């Protein structure tokens, strides 16, 4: 029999999305799957939604955050392989079979990851992420999180016994786990599309101010004991990459928010000033400013 895959769905007040996530697992062609739903203190209709799927393991707990919910899912799951699916996302066709085959055929790897699509709140595809990374995975993860979406990762259970999710983290606990495991064990990555990442106003990843501090703290934690000059340099590049990534997000807020949304603009401007101040010069004197002036003058 093929190894059991436990799909762990952690949810907090996402009952409206949950059926799509669950059905995407039930439609998989892999023959040996269990679904574990960890309800992190939801106050909506989550429990009634889960009752519509009697084969699911359901566990309710007081709200303690995503990382603790994932660790709870690990404790009550039975699978040799583990996959974590957020309740507002879903798996694409053949996702589980694809990753399970990589683990079956490469016994030494701790986890495998793949590509994903991003969708908007109503499920329309907005982008496709298929990063090609074939070697030096720990180095590349220090530079940036090329995986991008947790549901594209399938772990061997022992990998998370070795490095469980950090319960003190409110976000980026997946990136922390990638670095913690990849520093010790080989991993793999491929470009097959495995999951849909739904982006909406409730995503924690939209809070650039919180996220950049969290991700840099994680990066510093994993870099502080490095001795290899190549890895040290990768971590330094990673710090600049993360600052640039979130500064560019705030740049979009700055340049696309309404003319009278000054509080939003000032907040974004202050963030950019702290993380990537070179963009301020561009905003005040560069191409963006010239574009705005031309617009008001009616010039092309």
Spell out the domain ranges in the chain: 5-202, 209-297
* Spatial separation of the C-alpha atoms in residues 206 and 215, rounded to whole Å: 13
| pLDDT for res 299 | 44
CB 28 within 8 A of CB 101: no
Provide CB contacts within 8 A for 227, sequence distance 6+.
none
| pLDDT for res 163 | 96
Q: What are the start-end ranges of the E strands in the chain?
A: 5-11, 33-40, 57-61, 81-84, 90-91, 111-119, 125-129, 154-156, 188-198
What pairs with residue 101 in β-bridges? none
| pLDDT for res 165 | 96
| pLDDT for res 298 | 46
* Spatial separation of the C-alpha atoms in residues 84 and 154, rounded to whole Å: 8
pTM of the prediction? Answer: 0.89
CB 231 within 8 A of CB 142: yes
Axis crossing angle, helix 229-256 with helix 278-285, rounded to the nearest 10: 30
In 3D, which of 77, 84, 83 has the Cα closest to residue 10? 84
| pLDDT for res 294 | 47
- What CATH number has the domain spanning 5-202? 3.90.550.10
In 3D, which of 75, 59, 106 has the Cα closest to residue 6? 75
**Length of the chain in terms of residues written:** 300
Tens digits of residue pLDDT in 230-272: 999 999 999 999 999 998 888 888 888 887 888 888 888 888 8
| pLDDT for res 287 | 57
Is residue 292's pLDDT more than 70?
Answer: no
Q: Which two tokens stand for residue 96?
A: 């589980």
């Amino acid at each position: 029999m093929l190894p059991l895959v436990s799909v762990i769905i952690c949810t907090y007040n996402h009952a409206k999305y949950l059926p799509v996530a669950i059905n995407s697992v039930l439609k998989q062609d892999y023959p040996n799957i269990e679904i574990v739903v960890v309800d992190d203190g939801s106050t909506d209709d989550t429990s009634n939604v889960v009752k519509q799927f009697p084969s699911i393991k359901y566990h309710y707990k007081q709200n303690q955050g995503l990382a603790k919910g994932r660790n709870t899912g690990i404790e009550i799951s039975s699978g040799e392989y583990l996959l974590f699916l957020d309740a507002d996302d879903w798996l694409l066709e053949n996702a589980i079979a694809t990753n399970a085959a990589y683990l079956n055929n490469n016994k030494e790897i701790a986890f495998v990851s793949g590509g994903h699509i991003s969708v908007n709140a109503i499920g329309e595809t907005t982008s496709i992420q298929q990063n090609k990374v074939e070697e030096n995975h720990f180095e590349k993860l220090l530079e940036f999180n090329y995986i991008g979406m947790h549901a594209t990762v399938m772990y061997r259970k022992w990998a998370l016994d070795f490095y469980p999710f950090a319960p003190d983290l409110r976000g980026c606990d997946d990136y922390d786990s990638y670095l913690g495991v990849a520093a010790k064990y080989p991993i793999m990555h491929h470009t097959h599309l495995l999951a849909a990442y739904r982006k909406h106003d409730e995503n924690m990843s939209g809070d650039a101010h919180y996220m950049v501090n969290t991700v840099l703290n994680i990066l510093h934690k994993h870099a502080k004991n490095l001795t290899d000059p190549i890895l040290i340099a990768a971590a330094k590049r990673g710090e600049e990459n993360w600052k640039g990534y979130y500064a560019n997000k705030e740049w979009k807020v700055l340049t696309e928010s309404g003319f009278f949304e000054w509080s939003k603009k000032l907040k974004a401007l202050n963030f950019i000033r702290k993380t990537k101040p070179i963009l301020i010069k561009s905003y005040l004197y560069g191409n963006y400013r010239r574009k705005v002036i031309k617009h008001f003058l009616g010039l092309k």
